[in-house]
Structures are given as C-alpha cells and as structure tokens.
Amino acid sequence: MDRGGAPRPRAGSPVIVFVHPGQGAQHVGMGVQMAAQFKAARRAFEEASDAVGLDLLALCREGPEERLRATENTQPALLAASCAVAAVLMEHGVLPGAAAGLSLGEYSALVSAGALGLADAALIVRRRGLLMREAAEGLRTAMAAVMGLEAEVVDGICRETPGLVEAANFNAPGQVVIAGTCDAVAEATARLRGAGARKVVPLAVSAPFHTSLMRQAAERLAPVIGAACLVPPRIPVVTNVAAQPVREPEQIRLLLLRQVAAPVRWEQSVRALGEMGATTFVEAGPGRTLAGLIARTLPAAEVISVDDPSTLQAALVRLSAHAPAVDIDSAGATVQG
C-alpha cells in the first residue's frame, strides 16, 4: 500500500476519521477474510510481509496465539491487518478527512494519511516490538486499567506512590491505564481503590508500555525511525503525545520516538478530532475497543467498526446514508507540547 493509496476526501464528503487499534486488539484470524476477498488487502499483507521477512498473513491465519502475541510479531501483524482494512475502505470510496491510532495504531494512521509507506512502517514496528520486549527483560512489571476515577486523580496518586508507577494511557473519561514495576503498581492499586476507583483490572501484557522504563527502547529505535521516508500527510493525523494534528515530517519522527516512553493521550486526541469537525469515526482494524472509548468520550459521534467483509458491507450501507458535510480543514495544523 503506497502513498498513492491515501487520496484526499472529495469536497462535500462526510467528515470521516480513520482510527486504528493498538496492541491488544490482535487475534488469530484477523485480516484473513479481507485478504481472501480483496486484492487491496492481500497487497497490504504482502508488502508488510516482504519488508519484515515474515509471512504475516500466515501468522494471522494459523497462529498459534502464543506466537502472534510475541510483541515483535504482534506489531507488524496488527499494522498489516489494519492497513489492509483501510486499503479496502478507500478502494470502496470511503476516504478519511483525518486519522489517528492508539499507540501502535498511530503507524497505521500515518500509512492511511500517506505520510509513511507501509513497508517502512512494518520495519519500524517490528524493531519497535523487539526493543520494547528487550527493555522489559529481567524486570518485574505490570499494567492495570483503572476505572471510575478522574485522570488527574490517577496521575496524582501514581506520582505520590513510592517506586516507579506512571499513568500510561488516558483512554477515555474514567479509564486510565497505569504501568510500572510490580510492587509500585500493587501499591498504587491499593491507593486507587482507597480513593474510590470502581475497578482496577490487571492487564496481560509483556512490557510496561509508554512509561519511562521504555526510554532505552526509544533511544535504540531512533536510527530506524530516522531512516524511514516520511512526507507531510495528505490529511491531518492527530498524534498520541501531542493530542493535536501534525504535518511536518521531522515533528512526526520526534513524536513517534517520544510516544514509546510517553503516555498515550487518546481521550484528548479524540476530543481534538471532535473540535476539528469529525462526526464519524471508522475503526479500521481488529476489535471494537476504540469504538467503546470514542463513544464514552464523544457520545454524539457515530462510530463504525470494520474488520471483515460483513462489517465492511454494513459500514458501506451506513456511510451511504450520510448527508454531505464540510471537510476537516488541515490548514494551519500544528504540534503543541
């Protein structure tokens, strides 16, 4: 899927945002039906597979789950599956006016926006996954989702807790993910429950993503991102770190590096897209996680999830009923923070 696969939406088309899932959405079987039915999806898998020297479609088709869950495999496989869906949507005339992605999904968003080629993205995320895993080796770490407390309260308790525990993902109102060393996360969990958290759920992940424990991974990833060919996106891409659209390639590089060890500001990113005029979000890729988070953040927004031929057909029917709307204006988009 080259940069020619990311055309601008036509004037008068609906204000549609492509959003792409991050790690955790993967499952054996993802993308397989799309690749079986659509050449554009097969091409996406082939391009990503050739780049990393791994048959990603076979991995998604056959697993096993344990092999797919290995971070260095999960990341390029999920990227390929998400970009395959986006390619098919665009082939059917569904053209985004903006894009965003949760964590790893930011790479899919950059591909959808024409800023980054799929082959380069696959190479980066394969290395990214390996470096993240290596950064966590020998450490006892944990992540947990905190439900029912304001983000400021969760962040404050993490800062006051002894040891290393940090707010890693601001996902939606009342949902924040914390991460760090096991002892510190356990202590923060007790304090959060004491402060009135409705629920604190441990997450089955292999590393404390988006915390300062990943700084070494970010440093080692810098040459890989530095070597990638990046161009200005054809549509605004709202980034996890800044929660604002970014247009300059060097800013994109900087933010992709910062993202490895910095919190994901997904709630703020969704709100920024709403302020830019987004009315319809199409979740392009496996799972329905983003649909739930967006619905909690922007209750009036329409969210459509697409990950196989049946959900594609349903999405095309729903989108065909849209009245024309004003496109998101990408002029003057800047990075802040």
Residues recognised as catalytic: 103, 210
Alpha-carbon distances, residue 155 vs 3, 84, 158, 229, 238 (angstroms): 39, 36, 5, 36, 23
Identify how many contiguous H helices and E strands the chain contains and give both numbers. Answer: 14, 10
> Taking a C-beta distance cutoff of 8 angstroms, is the pair 25, 287 a contact?
yes
- Retrieve residue 316's tokens: 């095309």
Q: What are phi and psi of 123, to 5 degrees?
A: -60, -45
Cα-Cα end-to-end distance for the chain: 31
**Sheet of 199-203, strands arranged across:** 165-172, 175-181, 141-147, 199-203
Q: What does the radius of gyration of the chain's CA atoms come to, in whole angstroms?
A: 19
